[in-house]
Amino acid sequence: MTSIAFIGLGNMGNPMAANLVKAGHDVRGFDLVPENLKVARDNGVTVMANAPAAVKDADIVITMLPAGKHVLSVYEDIVAKAAKDTLFIDSSTIDVGSARQAHAIAAKHGMLSVDAPVSGGVGGATAGTLTFMAGGSKEAFAKAEPILQPMAGRIVHCGEGGAGQAAKICNNMILGISMIGVGEAFVLAEKLGLSHQALFDVASTSSGQCWSLTTYCPVPGPVPASPANKGYKPGFAAALMLKDLKLSQEAAQAAGAATPLGAEATQLYALFNQLGHAGDDFSGIINFLRGAQK
Ligand code: NAD
């Protein structure tokens, strides 16, 4: 049994912590929101009064927080108070610069650290099938891997510190762009009198094939489990897609990479969010492309 401190028990953190409890670990959690602490307690997490109390005597510290500034402020608060040899795993999706700063704070205090953002959403967090994209030294990754296992379907060591976040935002930039591409193709097909099913049957087995089409099809019918069949209830909210696209554009600017379609996708998702769809599934952008602005 390992003692794990879990900071950030929101939509993702709570089911992830629950899977660590189920795997037999001693999980001590903290969040700022009392309702989230209640859920954690019901799941078998020992609720602590604050983050430093959760971290005291923990072997592993996992953070699952909204953005880079939250991670850095929590790290400033807890790293110095952790026991020697504690491993820090940050699974939040944050900018690469903040991820590297978080590694630097851990290193300054002689701690190992891993950035390990996830894909798979709340469904994957609950089922314990998340994909983890990890960045950090071989030693840190070797220590993190068995801890991540009960929450994971797949764990990929992407490289040194920050590489996990880099992989996450590159992947989600592909996703944002491809969802708009698939949406545009369905809208064009409608105008040309081609049925959704016919386009799906052709493109899903041809060169247009991609995850946005075959797993997450943005029109109802061809893929019964996709959010389009449930009124575009998320799934993966448009607000989170916009967050990740913005991170990709910050990173592209800092690194000097040309990402014109990433930039365009960011603009389109910003508009979609502004029109009141931040809480809709991101595949609902097809309705915006069709001109339905309600
Ligand atoms: P959330 O807002 O539900 O959870 C974040 C939690 O952090 C909140 O409960 C908040 O109270 C807590 N928090 C903030 N500051 C804190 C502090 N100083 N101390 C303790 N707790 C604090 O968000 P979420 O959906 O669980 O997402 C968490 C992270 O995972 C984000 O970075 C998000 O981008 C990423 N992510 C989310 C999804 C998803 O589908 N929800 C998928 C992949 C990645």
- What does the pLDDT read at residue 249? 98
What tens digit of pLDDT does each residue of 35-89 get?
Answer: 999 999 999 999 999 999 999 999 999 999 999 999 999 999 999 999 999 999 9
- CB 121 within 8 Å of CB 177: no
DSSP letters for 234-286: -SSBHHHHHHHHHHHHHHHHHHT---HHHHHHHHHHHHHIIIIITTSBGGGHH
Ligand 1, residue 73: give the atom nearest the CA: 18
- Say what the pLDDT of residue 1 is: 83
3-state DSSP assignment of residue 86: coil
Q: Which two tokens stand for residue 77?
A: 């608060």
Which of 65, 93, 94, 118 to probe ligand 1 with, by most ligand atoms within 8 A of CB?
65
Give residue 241 CA to ligand 1 midpoint distance, Å.
14
Question: Do the beta carbons of residue 235 and residue 245 sit within 8 Å?
Answer: no
3-state secondary structure of 136: coil
pLDDT of res. 293: 55
Check residue 82 and report its DSSP letter.
S
Peptide bond into 128 cis (omega under 30): no
Q: Residue 128: name the closest of 148, 156, 146, 158 by CA.
A: 148
Domains with residue ranges and CATH for the chain: 3-160 (3.40.50.720), 166-292 (1.10.1040.10)
Looking only at the bridges linking them, the beta strands covering 118-119 and 60-63 are: unpaired
Residues 6 or more apart whose Cβ sits within 8 Å of residue 34? none
Q: What is the mean pLDDT of residues 236-251?
A: 97
Given this model, what pLDDT does residue 235 score? 87
What six digits make up the tokens of 179? 């969802």
How large a percentage of the chain has pLDDT more than 70? 99
Average pLDDT over residues 232-259: 96
CB 26 within 8 A of CB 46: yes
pLDDT confidence of residue 121: 87
Tokens of 212: 């946005």
- pLDDT at position 294 is 53
Asked if residue 179 lies in contact with residue 212, where contact means CB atoms within 8 angstroms, the answer is yes
Contact 137, 115 (CB under 8 A): no
Instruction: Tell whether the model's pLDDT for residue 268 goes beyond 60.
Output: yes
Residues with a catalytic annotation lie at 168
Tell me the per-residue pLDDT of 178-210, one tens digit each, with 9 for 90 and over: 999 999 999 999 999 999 999 999 999 999 999
Pocket of ligand 1 (CB under 6 A): 7-13, 30-33, 36, 51, 64-66, 70, 74, 92-93, 118-119, 121-122, 236, 240, 243
